[in-house]
C-alpha cells in the first residue's frame, strides 16, 4: 500500500476500509453455521476497486472471492491474492489454459468449454474444480434440470475435471416481498442435487444465496453465500430493506464504503439571462456564480443527472446546472459563496448532515444503484481511507504516486 498526497489529486474515489470490514462482520453474523462467505468483487468490485477491496475482504474474514471473468481472476492472482477465486460466468474455450493456471473455480453449462478446460487441466497435470450452473427460472446461463444428470455424468468422465458444486441464481428475491418464485427455484435446486446424489455423483457444495438471501433467509445459504452489493454497504433494494425493518427485531446495519470527490477547476460568474452548457438547457435567472467540476459522463458522472443532481460543498448542496459534458459539469455555488478553485466537492458520499448516496444517484438516473457505482470509470483512482486517516493506493502506483 502506497500513501497518496490528497492535495495532489484532481478527482478520486475513496473506499473506507472500516466500512468494508464492518459489512463483512455483519454478513458473517447472518450466516448459517456451515456456509462459506463468498464476496463478489466482479466489475471492479462494483466500481469500488478490485484489488483494494479484495484484500480488505479477505483480511476481514471472507472465505472466497467471486469474479465474473478470467481477466479479473488473473488480476487477483497477479496482485498476490491466494484465496479461493470463483469465476461465476462461463470461461470461453480459448481461455481454458489460463483458467487452469489461475487455479480458479469455474462454472460449467455447456460442452465446448468443459472439453477445453478438461484438456487444459490434463495438460497441466492437475484437476480443476468446477460448479455446474442449473437453470431454475432466470433463463440466463445454465443446464436444464432434465438434462442435468446426463451432463454431470459426462463431465465426471472427463479427465481433469472434478465437480465441486451445483449452483443457480435467484431471479427476483431482492425485488419483492413475495418469495414464492425464489422458493420454487430452491425446490428445483434441491431436487436436482438429490437427483445427482441418487445417480451416484458426489456433490460437496450446493449454493444459490445472494446478498438478499444472505441477509434475511438462512435456509437458502447452503454451502456458500455469494454476497455482492451488501458487502459494499448498499441494500439490494428498498423493498428488501423494508422487509428487514418490518420482520427483524434488529435489522442488519450496512455501511456505504464509497465516496467520490473532485476539486473545482474554475469559478466564474454567469450574467442574468446567460445560458449554461450544451443545448442551453439552463438560463441564469440572475447573476450567479458557478463552479466547473472536472469530471463528466466519460468518467462516470451520468448525463442523466443534468439539471437534476447536486453535489456537496462545505456541507451544502450545489445543484448541477446545464447538461453534464463528457469531461466536466457545472454547479450552482449560490449556497457556497466562498467556494474557490481547488476546493473539494463530494459527488457521491456525505458531508456533515448532508448525503448524496448511490440510491439518490439512481433516482436521478432512472436506474439502479448497482449501475451508479459500477460505472465510475476505472481511470478515477480508487484509494483506501485507512484507520490512520490517510489515503493509500493498492495498485497501479505509478499512475497516481
Q: Which of 42, 232, 297, 370 is catalytic?
A: 42
Give yes or no: 298 in active site.
no
Give yes or no: 278 in active site.
yes
What are the backbone dihedrals phi and psi of residue 326, each rounded to the nearest 5 degrees, phi first? -65, -40
* 3-state secondary structure labels for all residues of the chain: CEEECHHHCCEEEEEEHHHHHHHHHHHHHHCCCCCEEEEECHHHHHCCCHHHHHHHHHHHCCCEEEECCHHHHHHHHHCCCCCCEEEEEECCHHHHHHHHHHCCEEEECCCHHHHHHHHHHHHCCCCEEEEEEECCCCCCCCECHHHHHHHHHHHHCCCCEEEEEEECCCCCCCCCCCCHHHHHHHHHHHHHHHHHHHCCCCCCEEECCCHHHHHHCHHHCCCEEEECHHHHCCCCCHHHHHHHHHHCCCCCCCCCCEEEEEECCEEEEECCCCEECHHHCEECCCCEEEEEECCCCCCCCCHHHCCCCEEEECCEEEEEECCCCCCCEEEECCCCCCCCCCCEEEEEEEECCEEECHHHHHHHHCCCHHHHHHCCCCCCCEEEECCCCCEEECCCHHHHC
Q: Which of 261, 268, 278, 392 is catalytic?
A: 278
Q: Which residues contact 265 (CB under 8 A, 6 or more apart)?
A: 10, 291, 292, 293, 294, 328, 341
Give catalytic residues, as residue numbers. 42, 278
Amino acid at each position: 500500500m502506497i500513501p497518496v498526497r490528497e492535495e495532489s489529486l484532481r478527482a478520486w474515489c475513496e473506499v473506507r476500509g472500516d466500512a468494508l470490514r464492518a459489512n463483512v462482520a455483519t454478513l458473517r453474523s447472518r450466516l448459517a453455521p456451515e456456509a462459506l462467505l463468498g464476496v463478489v468483487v466482479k466489475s471492479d468490485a462494483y466500481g469500488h476497486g478490485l484489488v483494494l477491496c479484495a484484500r480488505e475482504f479477505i483480511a476481514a474474514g471472507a472465505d472466497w472471492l467471486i469474479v465474473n471473468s478470467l481477466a479479473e481472476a488473473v488480476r487477483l492472482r497477479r496482485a498476490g491474492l491466494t484465496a479461493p477465486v470463483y469465476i461465476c460466468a462461463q470461461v470461453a474455450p480459448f481461455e481454458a489454459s489460463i483458467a487452469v493456471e489461475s487455479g480458479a473455480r469455474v462454472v460449467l453449462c455447456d460442452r465446448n468449454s468443459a472439453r477445453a478446460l478438461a484438456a487444459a487441466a490434463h495438460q497441466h497435470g492437475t484437476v480443476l474444480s468446477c460448479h455446474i450452473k442449473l437453470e431454475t427460472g432466470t433463463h440466463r446461463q445454465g443446464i436444464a434440470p432434465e438434462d442435468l444428470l446426463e451432463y454431470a455424468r459426462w463431465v465426471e468422465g472427463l479427465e481433469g475435471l472434478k465437480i465441486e458444486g451445483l449452483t443457480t441464481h435467484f431471479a427476483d428475491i431482492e425485488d419483492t416481498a413475495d418469495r414464492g418464485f425464489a422458493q420454487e427455484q430452491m425446490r428445483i435446486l434441491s431436487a436436482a442435487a438429490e437427483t445427482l446424489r441418487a445417480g451416484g455423483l458426489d456433490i460437496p457444495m450446493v449454493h444459490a444465496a445472494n446478498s438478499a438471501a444472505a441477509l434475511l433467509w438462512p435456509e437458502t445459504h447452503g454451502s456458500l453465500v455469494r454476497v455482492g452489493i451488501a458487502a459494499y454497504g448498499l441494500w439490494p433494494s428498498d423493498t428488501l430493506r423494508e422487509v428487514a425493518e418490518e420482520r427483524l427485531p434488529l435489522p442488519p446495519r450496512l455501511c456505504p464504503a464509497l465516496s467520490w470527490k473532485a476539486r473545482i477547476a474554475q469559478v466564474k460568474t454567469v450574467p442574468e439571462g446567460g445560458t449554461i452548457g450544451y443545448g442551453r438547457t439552463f438560463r441564469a435567472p440572475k447573476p450567479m456564480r458557478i463552479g466547473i467540476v472536472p469530471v463528466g459522463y466519460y468518467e462516470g458522472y451520468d448525463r442523466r443527472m443534468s439539471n437534476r443532481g447536486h453535489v456537496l460543498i462545505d456541507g451544502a448542496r450545489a445543484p448541477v446546472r446545464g447538461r453534464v459534458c463528457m469531461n466536466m459539469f457545472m454547479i450552482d455555488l449560490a449556497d457556497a459563496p466562498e467556494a474557490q478553485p481547488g476546493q473539494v466537492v463530494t459527488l457521491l458520499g456525505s458531508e456533515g448532515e448532508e448525503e448524496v448516496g448511490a440510491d439518490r444517484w439512481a433516482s436521478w438516473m432512472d436506474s439502479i444503484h448497482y449501475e451508479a457505482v459500477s460505472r465510475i470509470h476505472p481511470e478515477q483512482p480508487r484509494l483506501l481511507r485507512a484507520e490512520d486517516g490517510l489515503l493509500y493506493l493498492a495498485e497501479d502506483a505509478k499512475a497516481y504516486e
